[in-house]
Structure 1
Amino acid sequence: MTNAYEYALGPCLLDLELSGGAVAISVWDTDPTLQAAWAADPGRIGRHGLEIVIALCLSFEIHREPVGKRVRTTNGLADDPGGQPAGRVM
């Protein structure tokens, strides 16, 4: 969301969808440029955001839209809404 706010030349939208112990986070902005993760470089300062997002999420998608693009991740939650630990069989 920070990149959409900082770099897109127009509006941006954030959508959150809770389902089955995970949250889907979708960000749309007007910039048609698709992000790409940089090759790992521990000496590089900055530009690690997408690497971190991809490492932490369950799924990652990026799609061009008729205007701009949409980035969507699915992230596991510590506990699901029913109070059961997410991802664990009890």
Structure 2
Amino acid sequence: MDKQGFTTGIVHGDRITGNEHGGVHQPIHTSVQYGFERVEDLIGVFQSTKKGGFNYARQGTPTTAALERTITSLEDGIGTICFSTGMAA
């Protein structure tokens, strides 16, 4: 498949990683509680040794992760970190 154009990448970039529950685009998670079967999994998320996990909505959600992936892709960067406010940055 050819490389997508800039605008197409903005609109359809979230389809590359797949979306939960068959959504066409990434759903918006405004606030959510996270549960873990094992305490070791929670510890791994807090210590950043377990990838793809979330522990607290103020520290990130699937929505902010999708935004970070999109910005990284648009900027041809290696990573992005989003903050809720300028003071948080």
TM-score (norm 1): 0.25
Q: Greater relative contact order (Cα 8 A, min sep 6): structure 1 or 2? A: 1
Higher normalized helix content (fraction of residues): 2
